[in-house]
Amino acid sequence: MQPIPACPASSCIGVDVSSKELRIAAASETALNTPVASLSNTPAPIKRWLKSLPPGCRIGMEATGCYHRTLADLAVAAGHTVFVFNPAHIATYLRSLRSRGKTDVLDARGIARYVLNESAACHHYVPPTALQSQLALLIQRRHQVVKQRASLRMSLKDVKTCATPVKTVLLAFDRLIAAIDKQLDQALAGDPKLQAQRQQLRSIHGFGPLVSAAFAARLSRVPYANSDALVAAIGMDPRPRDSGEYAGQRHLSKCGNAEERRLIYLAAVSACRNPVFRAMRDKLLARGLSKIAAYCVIARKLLRIALAVWKSEQPFNLQLVGRG
């Protein structure tokens, strides 16, 4: 692998991240097969590489669970602008480049070109605080436990001879979920301001302890300009598919965090126990929407309410629903 040559302060760099290695390429407006360097995905070599860069570089990478976090956090600390892209967006972009294959080298070059051509419309990466990281980790791991519990219960429900041991295991899952919930409460209790904001979110119908914790962590990290931005960030925005006289069926973008999207949908289902939201749902059903589509509409309404509650620092007022 060749070293990345010196580049101007406006340079755009793409990084293909794996658990052990980084493949790094700088974009060029005149060349496609730019040099690609290889680097160990550990702090020491990353810090040395970042020191060799001119200030103000734009560095892009795909979200990879946890493997991109070291590079992203160190690059921000070094004064660079960092973008963590949705892998689905990058995959679509890479397919448009007419590459004859898919390798880490081609991916790094493609990400660099994406930074060069598309990052102006993207939000830069903001490192989470220790508390935000802890909350996100607990919420995601809780979701995995809940999924495994449901899978076990469904797969063995017809095996009557295993009913007693299955019940014992399910109770152990319940204790684990309760322990995670307790850790969430303890983590939030350590930040009185965030805890107070979470309590205001809990005043919204459908926002229980878990949903309010998840969205308190989300809203404390990203200062959304408006409710449309929040809806889009959660992936609850319907994407049109129209052309000329053809009006296609709209589908949710499903960008962003899948667990937060699941939680806000469940919050919408729960909110419909209240007569006001139930009447809203029934009106949507009368218009011909499916139940899922109706709950998605209400979920978007709840997201807009949540942002209003967050910004106003006032509890939810049910009497304002439907106004404006």
Count CA within 13 A, CB hemisphere, residue 152. 18
- Whole-Å CA distances, 141 to 45, 180, 181: 30, 9, 11
**pLDDT computed for residue 9 by the predictor:** 36
Whole-structure pTM value: 0.83
**Nearest alpha-carbon partner for 80 in 131, 41, 119, 110:** 119
Tokens 């899978």 sit on residue: 151
Question: Residue 181 is inside which H or E element, if any?
Answer: helix 163-189
Q: Which residues contact 308 (CB under 8 A, 6 or more apart)?
A: 227
Q: DSSP class of residue 255?
A: -
Over the chain (324 residues), what is each successive 10-residue block's mean pLDDT? 45 94 90 89 96 92 92 96 92 86 91 92 88 93 95 92 93 97 96 96 96 95 91 90 80 88 96 95 95 96 96 90 60
Long-range contacts (CB closer than 8 Å, 24 or more residues apart) made by 243-251:
none
**pLDDT computed for residue 323 by the predictor:** 54
Give the residues across from 93 on adjacent strands: none
**pLDDT computed for residue 170 by the predictor:** 95
**pLDDT computed for residue 322 by the predictor:** 64
Q: How far is residue 72's CA from residue 49's CA, in Å, rounded to a whole number?
A: 13
CB burial readout 148-180, b (16+ within 10 A) else e: ebeeeeeebeeeeeeeeebeeeeeebeebeeeb
- The tokens for 41 are 């995905």
**Nearest alpha-carbon partner for 4 in 41, 44, 54:** 54
CB atoms within 10 A of CB 183: 16
